[in-house]
């Protein structure tokens, strides 16, 4: 399996995988195994690659089978959900620090094709992205919708993310989680 920072030529394949597991287009029977909620455009992924180098992919037989997005809060700030999270940062403490846009970044979404689930793809792509993002930020921040228990279990049990708070946004309930980017994930 090849892990790499995505290039512009990878966008169509990433969007194809994303669409397959996005909450508005996922097959109903696949929803129980996890889903991504935020829709993305080609332009947004282009910006993520060009400005942040924050799209990490896993390829198997030249096919994108997983991705994870990571970027500064400035990148995410045009989305209402992330604006809300940015406003909450100063109320939260982790690693003896008050969270801020300077010391943390937003991790996710992450999407893994069901054909490779259970084969340590999550751990491997998370670790790959963590190493890259740790050069810029000591703290990872993310959120998981409470109706997505598979993602919650994978991130807390397999990766060791910690819940820092729970919150409501747009009539949905979420866990907000954090991770020390200096900590290596055990594979």
What residue ranges of the chain have pLDDT lower than 70?
Answer: 23, 30, 35
Instruction: Establish if 106 belongs to a structural domain.
Output: yes
User: Tell me, what's the pLDDT at 183?
Assistant: 96
| Residue owning tokens 């397999």 | 158
| Distant-in-sequence contacts of 160-163, Cβ < 8 A, 24+ apart | 160/185, 162/94
Query: What SS3 class is residue 97?
Result: strand
pLDDT of residue 39: 80
pLDDT value at residue 21: 74
Tell whether 39 is covered by a domain: yes
Alpha-carbon torsion angle 18, 119, 29, 152, nearest 10? -80
Range of the domain at 29: 2-180
Residue 139 in any domain: the answer is yes
186 in any annotated domain: no
Pairing of strands 104-112, 93-94: unpaired
> Which position has the token pair 């992919």?
57
pLDDT digits (tens, 9 = 90+) for 33-56: 776 777 899 999 999 999 999 999
Does residue 187 form part of some domain?
no
> d(Cα 128, Cα 5) in Å, to the nearest integer?
9
**How far, in Å, are 45, 55, 108 from residue 51 at the CA level?**
10, 10, 16
- What CATH number did the domain enclosing 50 receive? 3.40.630.30
Query: For residue 170, is it within any domain?
Result: yes
Q: Which residues of 120-158 are buried (b: 16+ CB within 10 A; e: fewer)?
A: ebbebbbbbbbeebbeebbbbbbbbbeebeebbebbeee
CB–CB of 150/177 below 8 Å?
A: no
Q: Is residue 49 part of a domain?
A: yes
How many structural domains are present in the chain?
1
Average model confidence (pLDDT) across the chain = 93
pTM of the model: 0.93
pLDDT of residue 131: 97
Cα gap 116→122, rounded to integer Å: 9
């Amino acid at each position: 399996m090849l892990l790499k920072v995505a290039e512009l030529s990878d966008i169509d394949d990433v969007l194809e995988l994303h669409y397959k597991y996005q909450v508005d287009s996922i097959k109903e029977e696949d929803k129980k195994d996890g889903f991504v909620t935020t829709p993305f455009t080609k332009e947004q992924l282009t910006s993520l690659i060009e400005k942040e180098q924050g799209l990490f992919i896993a390829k198997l037989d030249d096919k994108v089978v997983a991705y994870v997005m990571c970027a500064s809060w400035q990148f995410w700030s045009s989305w209402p959900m992330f604006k809300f999270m940015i406003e909450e940062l100063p109320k939260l403490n982790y690693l003896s620090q008050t969270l801020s846009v300077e010391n943390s970044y937003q991790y996710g979404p992450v999407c893994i094709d069901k054909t490779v689930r259970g084969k340590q793809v999550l751990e491997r792509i998370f670790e790959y992205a963590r190493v890259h993002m740790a050069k810029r930020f000591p703290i990872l921040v993310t959120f998981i919708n409470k109706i997505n228990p598979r993602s919650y279990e994978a991130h807390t049990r397999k990766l060791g993310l910690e819940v820092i708070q729970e919150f409501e946004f747009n009539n949905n309930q979420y866990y907000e989680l954090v991770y020390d980017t200096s900590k290596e994930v055990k594979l």
